[in-house]
Amino acid sequence: MLTWLDVLAIFSVAAATAVGIRKGVSFFLVFPLALGLFVLVVFKFQLAPVYWPLVGFLAGLLAAQLAGRWYIYLSGFWDGLLGGLAGLAWGLLIALSLWVGLPSEYSYATGAYRYPSPKLPLAIQEAVVKSPFALTLFDKVQAVPYLRSFLLEAQHR
């Protein structure tokens, strides 16, 4: 069963893909700028992962605005395909940050991280625990040493 967190993440993917298709190759060309802006803001201000979806949304919105000012078109198929791929990638970044960006807590008893942190409100804990995606994705991120250290270091700032 999908939770409100899953619906929000899936909606983010769908909306970003739709914007990418609508803006076309222009969005594909400004996608690296939006990604660079996202990384710059996250690292420069040392934001906790819980703020990453908001930064991703704002950077994607800026990219869509910039793409709307450029009139670069390919044939209808390629224009939509390239824009859609950039939108899909952007939406997946936002969705991933929604699913794994909540605070976790190290348990000395088990020697592992508990996700989500028991300090979060019960509604958020239930949404993560009942989600078919959140715990699985958190475990996959934890399995990659670089991503694990990056995520955990960012959570404890």
3-state SS string for 11-72 = HHHHHHHHHHHHHCHHHHHHHHHHHHHHHHHHHHCCCCHHHHHHHHHHHHHHHHHHHHHCCC
The two tokens of residue 9 are 């993440």
Contact 128, 100 (CB under 8 A): no
Q: Point out the least confidently predicted range of 78-82, 123-127, 139-143, 147-151.
A: 147-151
User: pLDDT class for 151, splitting at 50, 70, 90?
Assistant: confident
Strand partners, 113: 106
User: pLDDT class for 72, splitting at 50, 70, 90?
Assistant: confident
The SS3 of residue 105 is strand
Which residue do the tokens 């700028």 mark? 33
> So where are the chain's domains?
4-100, 105-155
Name the pTM for this structure: 0.86
**What CA–CA distances, in Å, run from 60 to 27, 88, 145?**
9, 11, 28
Q: What is the pLDDT of residue 17?
A: 95
Q: Is the pLDDT at 76 greater than 70, yes or no?
A: yes
φ, ψ dihedrals at 101, nearest 5°? -90, 0
The percentage of the chain sitting over the pLDDT mark of 70, rounded to a whole number, equals: 98
The SS3 of residue 107 is strand
For 62, counting Cβ atoms within 10 Å of its Cβ (0-12 exposed, 13-18 middle, 19+ buried), the class is middle
More confident call, 98 vs 70 = 98
User: pLDDT class for 156, splitting at 50, 70, 90?
Assistant: low
